[in-house]
Each structure stands twice: as C-alpha cells, then as structure tokens.
C-alpha cells in the first residue's frame, strides 16, 4: 500500500453538522468545520507529517501472547469495500475508530448498524485490543487454569496418581492462548459480518478530519473522516526507575511471556492486577511478597471483604507489606533486590510491577486537533463521550474511570449512539466490581463505611457459603454474601460478595436493585435448590430478623 495524500475538493462551506453524514438519501454532508483549498491542505498535511514523524516512529512494544502460534484469520475486509451504495462522501469515512478493543468494537458495531461507513484502525494484527491479548482474557484464562490446578492438587484421587511439578507461567498460559485465539476468531467475524473495515497500523491526527496511519516504517496512509472516536485503551505505567528490558522485571503485559520457573516473586502494587496475580502465583506454588502502598488491600471495598481477602492471602503464604514505597531495585542475572523507603530489602527471583496504567495517547499527535491528555494520558469527555473537540469522541480506558472491559464496551456503544444523534442513550454510571482473585470478590452499591458516613439507617443480612447446600456439594465453603438495606424502607443499598462465583452471583442482586425491588423480593421468590443464588434468600431472612 503506497502513501496516499487525499485532496479534499468538497470542503468549501464552513458550517458545522450535528450528526454524521451518510443518511439514506446518499447526499454528501452539507457542512465542514474547516475551510481549506485542496492545495493548501496538501501543503499542511506534508508539514504535519514531518512534525509527527519523530513521535510516531516510537511506539510502545506490543506484547502478543499469540506470537508463537500466530493465527491469520481470513478476512474479507478490503480497502475499497463499499458498504453503502450510491453515497457520495466528502470524507473517506463517516467515522474512524482508533483502537479495536471492547470500546472500539462496540462503537464500530453500533455505527455500522446505524448505516455509517466506518473504519477501525489498530496496530495489532488481530482485533480484540489489549483486553483480548494482554488484559482481561489472558489473565482470566490463566486464573482458571490455576484454579483447576489448585482443585486438582486438593483432590487426593489425582495427587496420589501423579506427581505435581512446578510449571513455567508460559506453559500454564497455553490454555489462555487458545482462548485468545477463539476470542479473536469470534470478534473478527463480528467485523466481517457488519462489513466494518479494519486497517492495521498506528493512527495519529493530522487535523480534525484527517488521520495518518503508519502501516509500517515506510508505508503511510491518510484517511479523512467526519467524526472520530478515540478508543486506544491503556498500557502498564512504567516508572523510569525500573528497567523493563531486564529479564527479571515484568509488568502485566510482559508477564505473559515469562518462560522460566521462579520460586519467589515480588508483586509491587496491591491494586486489582496485583491481587489477582497474587492468587495466580500462590496457586502455582510461588512465594509472594505483595507490596501495598496503602494500609489496607483494595481499600475501596467494604472493609469486611478487604479483611477477608487479606486473611486468605496470608493463609496461602502471601506476605503483605503495607504502607511501603519503593526506593530502588537492584537487578542481577538470576534475582532482584527491592529496597523500600522504610529501610526493608527483599530478595526475590523476579518482580511484577502492577502499579497503575496510562492512556495510550502519547503517539496520537493530539496537539494537531487541540486536545491535551492529563498526566496519566487520559482524555476528558462530557456526558455524551464527546471530547473538547466537537467531532472527536473517546471511550474506554483512555477516559479513565472505571477502566474495565465491561464498561468500555458499554461506553463505546453509548458514544456511538450519541454520535448518530440518539439522545436517549444513557452514559455508563453504575458498574459492578468483579475481582478475580481466588476466591472472587464482587460488589455493587454502597459499602458499610459509606452508609455510616452518610448516616443512613441501614441493616445487614449475611449468608455464609459454608451453610449452603450447593456450596457444600461443590466444595466452595469459603465465602459470604452481604446485603445492606435501609432498615425502614427495605431498599437494597449495597451487595458485597466474597467467594467463588461472586462475579456471577452479584448480577442477581444488581437486577433486583435496578428494578427498585426491596429486600422482600428475596423472601417472596422461590429459588432453585440447591444453588448459590439461594444465598440471597438466606441473607435476606438473616437481615429481616435484625429489623425491629
């Protein structure tokens, strides 16, 4: 594909449009926010190319767990595919989507179904974004393999028959690679079926209606569009004091390529990623030092749940070091030494740095469109997911909260709905927490601390898994479901669950809360038996017994 610079011959009116072009009558959009002649625009594009050249040549490495077993999905995407017959576009596309993660995919599907001509740009050879390749999917598949391993080791029937040997992470990851592959296949078909074109390359802005796509070092393509949505996601935050090229220094992307066995590992950062990996590593039999810069694990959780996970971690041999901060790290061929500001030093086989993420906005040349990201590379959007530039939207990790795949998908779809003029779309506001430690944690609504601070007269209903028939049958005896409710109105205010299947169990409560049903729903409704869902009935009765 050769470098292409398009002259814009129709750009001559200078008004603005509210919705994207490309309606059924096939008319070209009536307006354009910027007025340039073809010649002057070419000149400007040439200049901007030179300005951004340096930036775009320095992209972060993309870790691809499929590297060893790379799949090439047959694609029917062609640059010239015309999904809308008879339309005259003054731009190449109605909308360009930057990034093929959950936010980008959801936006692209909604736009395509609304009749828009859409192109998605992503540097990976496969769709799915960081979510599929290095984030949610591999980490959850890995967790499942480790979970199976733990159950296998607990079962005397198997352990008597077989020796358990420690296996390197990348071998355990074999299952994860299969899941990634299946996910890529599934999502590729979504793009194909909706005739959404995908271009593989790094995108950056030339102006508010033009991007440049770096296909490879020598090949660039210029694309014009009416509107754009930035869904470039995030990457692990890497502080300068660590050398991530060292074979014993990892972040959550690089850890998926660990190909040797360790006995001990330091996890620096006790956020969601740090805690999930603490479960994974202890499950694999590693000794874990978990460094937390706060005084409580996952301090935004209900403190009873946070205490429960800390207790279970300690039972599994995790050493939790709270209120600590890195001073520096020494790296050697076969070990690392972490020096903490408190004076402690910890020797380990490797370190996993899991202390936050940054939005992938660095290489986008945002200056060209008058946008600035914050210090964490994130963009500000309004309630319609529009940035400060009226034809540029953003969704997913790149806008910060809540930085979850679940929400990214809904944000992308919702942003697209606003882009096509659907004013009834609802921005994402309430998101459940689902943390895949072993056991899982999931919650929605207020915590006890929040309700106490707000002086809300609430009561608690609890169900311990060890008392449920289903939990006894499947051997999941550790766990609790807590329902917080208003003691006068019986309104459900918060639901907190600790134990395996928590991330599924929570959705029953979420649905009931969304329908504004009270605690009585759980006692007036017959549940299947034996089920984990029965925990709701048990917890509701337990809570009602406290009301007088």
Ligand X SMILES: Cc1cc2nc3c(=O)[nH]c(=O)nc-3n(C[C@H](O)[C@H](O)[C@H](O)COP(=O)(O)OP(=O)(O)OC[C@H]3O[C@@H](n4cnc5c(N)ncnc54)[C@H](O)[C@@H]3O)c2cc1C
Ligand Y SMILES: NC(=O)c1ccc[n+]([C@@H]2O[C@H](COP(=O)([O-])OP(=O)(O)OC[C@H]3O[C@@H](n4cnc5c(N)ncnc54)[C@H](O)[C@@H]3O)[C@@H](O)[C@H]2O)c1
232 binds ligand X (CB under 6 A): yes
Annotation-wise, does 369 bind a ligand? Answer: no
Residues 251 to 280: which contact ligand X by CB under 6 A? 252, 273
Q: How far, in Å, CA of 437 to CA of 280, rounded?
A: 8
For residue 46, the tally of other CB atoms under 10 A from its CB is 11
Annotation-wise, does 273 bind a ligand? Answer: yes
Residues 186 to 215: which contact ligand X by CB under 6 A? 202-203
For residue 119, the tally of other CB atoms under 10 A from its CB is 24
Annotation-wise, does 270 bind a ligand? Answer: yes
Torsion of the alpha carbons at 96, 102, 108 and 109, rounded to the nearest 10? 180
* Residues 493/458, Cβ–Cβ less than 8 Å: yes
441 binds ligand X (CB under 6 A): no
CB of 497 vs ligand Y, minimal distance in Å = 14
CB of 355 vs ligand Y, minimal distance in Å = 4
- Give the count of residues interacting with ligand X (CB under 6 A): 39
Sequence-separated (6 or more) residues with CB below 8 Å from residue 130:
101, 233, 234, 235, 253, 397
Which residue in 236, 239, 291 sits closest to 265, CA to CA? 291
| Contacted by 274, from ligand Y, ligand X, none: CB < 5 to 8 Å by type | ligand Y
Piece of the chain touching ligand X by CB under 6 A; list 37-45, 262-270, 400-408, 491-499: 400-408
Which residue in 332, 160, 155 sits closest to 246, CA to CA? 332
| Contacted by 104, from ligand Y, ligand X, none: CB < 5 to 8 Å by type | ligand X
Q: Where are the beta strands (DSSP E) in 292-399?
A: 319-321, 326-331, 336-340, 345-348, 350-353, 357-359, 392-394
CB nearer to ligand Y: give 277 or 286. Answer: 277
Annotation-wise, does 8 bind a ligand? Answer: no
Annotation-wise, does 274 bind a ligand? Answer: yes
Helix (H, G, I), strand (E, B) or coil at 111: helix
Q: How far, in Å, CA of 315 to CA of 289, rounded?
A: 13
| Contacted by 499, from ligand Y, ligand X, none: CB < 5 to 8 Å by type | none
Annotation-wise, does 324 bind a ligand? Answer: no
Q: How far, in Å, CA of 346 to CA of 259, rounded?
A: 23
Annotation-wise, does 269 bind a ligand? Answer: yes
CB nearer to ligand X: give 236 or 479. Answer: 236
Whether the link from the prior residue into 272 is cis, omega within 30° of 0, is: no
Residues 493 to 512: which contact ligand X by CB under 6 A? none
Sequence-separated (6 or more) residues with CB below 8 Å from residue 357:
234, 235, 236, 237, 376, 397, 403
CB nearer to ligand Y: give 269 or 363. Answer: 269
Residues at the site binding ligand Y, with contacts judged by CB under 6 A:
237, 269, 271-274, 276, 293, 354-358, 376, 403-404, 434-436
Sequence-separated (6 or more) residues with CB below 8 Å from residue 475:
151
CB nearer to ligand Y: give 100 or 273. Answer: 273
Query: Applying CB under 6 A, which of residues 98, 142, 270, 366 lies at the interface with ligand X?
Result: 98
Give the CB-nearest residue to ligand Y: 356
Query: Applying CB under 6 A, which of residues 87, 289, 324, 397 lies at the interface with ligand X?
Result: 397
Annotation-wise, does 271 bind a ligand? Answer: yes
CB of 409 vs ligand Y, minimal distance in Å = 13
Q: How far, in Å, CA of 201 to CA of 252, rounded?
A: 23
Bridge partner residues of 400 (DSSP): none
CB of 124 vs ligand Y, minimal distance in Å = 19
| Contacted by 96, from ligand X, ligand Y, none: CB < 5 to 8 Å by type | none
Annotation-wise, does 421 bind a ligand? Answer: no
| Contacted by 306, from ligand Y, ligand X, none: CB < 5 to 8 Å by type | none
| Contacted by 237, from ligand X, ligand Y, none: CB < 5 to 8 Å by type | ligand Y
Which residue in 108, 48, 20 sits closest to 365, CA to CA? 48
**Sign of torsion, CA 312 317 323 327?**
negative
CB of 102 vs ligand X, minimal distance in Å = 4
> Please, where are the H alpha helices in 129-238?
129-133, 136-154, 156-159, 169-172, 174-193
Piece of the chain touching ligand X by CB under 6 A; list 12-20, 99-107, 332-340, 453-461: 99-107
| Contacted by 445, from ligand Y, ligand X, none: CB < 5 to 8 Å by type | none
Backbone phi, psi, residue 494, to 5°: -165, 150
Pairing of β 197-200 and β 219-230: unpaired
Annotation-wise, does 377 bind a ligand? Answer: no
From residue 127 to residue 166, what is the string marking binding to ligand X with x (rule CB under 6 A)? --xxx---xx--xx--------------------------
Residues marked as binding?
Answer: 140, 269-276, 356, 397
Contacts with ligand X by CB under 6 A lie at 98-104, 121-124, 129-131, 135-136, 139-140, 202-203, 231-234, 252, 273, 360, 363-364, 396-398, 403-406, 408, 434, 436
Residues marked as binding for FAD?
Answer: 140, 397
């Amino acid at each position: 594909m050769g470098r292409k610079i398009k002259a814009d011959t129709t750009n001559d009116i200078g008004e603005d449009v509210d919705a994207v072009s490309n309606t059924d009558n096939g008319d070209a959009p009536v307006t354009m926010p910027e007025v340039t002649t073809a010649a002057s625009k070419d000149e400007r594009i040439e200049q901007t190319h030179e300005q951004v050249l340096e930036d775009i040549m320095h992209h972060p490495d993309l870790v691809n767990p499929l590297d060893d077993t790379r799949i090439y999905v047959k694609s029917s995407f062609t640059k010239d595919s015309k999904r809308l017959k008879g339309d005259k576009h003054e731009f190449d596309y109605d909308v360009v989507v930057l990034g093929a993660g959950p936010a980008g995919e959801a936006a692209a599907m909604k736009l395509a179904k609304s009749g828009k001509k859409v192109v998605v740009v992503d540097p990976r050879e496969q769709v799915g974004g960081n979510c599929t390749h290095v984030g949610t999917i591999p980490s959850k598949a890995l967790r499942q393999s480790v979970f199976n391993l733990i159950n296998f080791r607990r079962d005397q029937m198997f352990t008597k028959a077989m020796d358990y040997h420690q296996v390197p992470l990348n071998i355990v990851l074999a299952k994860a690679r299969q899941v990634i592959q299946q996910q890529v296949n599934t999502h590729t078909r979504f793009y194909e079926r909706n005739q959404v074109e995908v271009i593989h390359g790094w995108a950056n802005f030339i102006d508010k209606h033009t991007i440049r796509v770096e296909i490879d070092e020598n090949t660039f393509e210029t694309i014009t569009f009416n509107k754009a949505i930035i869904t470039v996601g995030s990457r692990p935050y890497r502080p300068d004091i660590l050398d991530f090229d060292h074979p014993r220094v990892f972040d959550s992307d690089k850890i998926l390529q660990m190909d040797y066995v360790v006995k001990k590992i330091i996890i620096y950062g006790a956020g969601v990623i740090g805690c999930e990996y603490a479960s994974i590593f202890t499950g694999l039999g590693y000794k874990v030092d978990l460094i937390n810069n706060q005084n409580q694990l996952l301090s935004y959780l209900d403190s009873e749940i946070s205490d429960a996970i800390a207790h279970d971690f300690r039972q599994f041999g995790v050493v939790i070091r709270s209120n600590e901060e890195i001073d520096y790290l020494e790296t050697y061929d076969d070990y690392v030494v972490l020096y903490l500001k408190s004076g402690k030093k910890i020797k380990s086989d490797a370190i996993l740095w899991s202390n936050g993420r940054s939005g992938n906005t660095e290489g986008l040349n945002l200056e060209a469109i008058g946008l600035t990201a914050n210090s964490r590379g994130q963009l500000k959007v309004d309630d319609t997911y529009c940035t400060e530039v009226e034809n540029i939207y953003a969704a997913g990790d790149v806008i910060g909260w809540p930085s979850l795949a679940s929400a990214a998908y809904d944000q992308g779809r919702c942003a697209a709905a606003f882009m096509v003029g659907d004013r009834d779309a609802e921005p994402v506001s309430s998101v459940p927490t689902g943390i895949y430690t072993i056991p899982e944690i999931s919650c929605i609504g207020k915590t006890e601390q929040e309700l106490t601070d707000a002086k809300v007269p609430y009561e608690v209903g609890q169900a311990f898994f060890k008392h449920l028939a289903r939990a006894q049958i499947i051997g999941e005896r550790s766990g609790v479901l807590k329902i917080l409710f208003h003691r006068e109105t019986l309104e459900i205010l918060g639901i907190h669950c600790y134990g395996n299947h928590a991330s599924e169990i929570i959705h029953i409560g979420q649905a009931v809360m969304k329908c504004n049903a009270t605690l009585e729903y759980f006692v007036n409704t017959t549940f299947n038996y034996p089920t984990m869902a029965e925990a709701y009935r048990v917890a509701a009765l337990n809570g009602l017994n406290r009301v007088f």
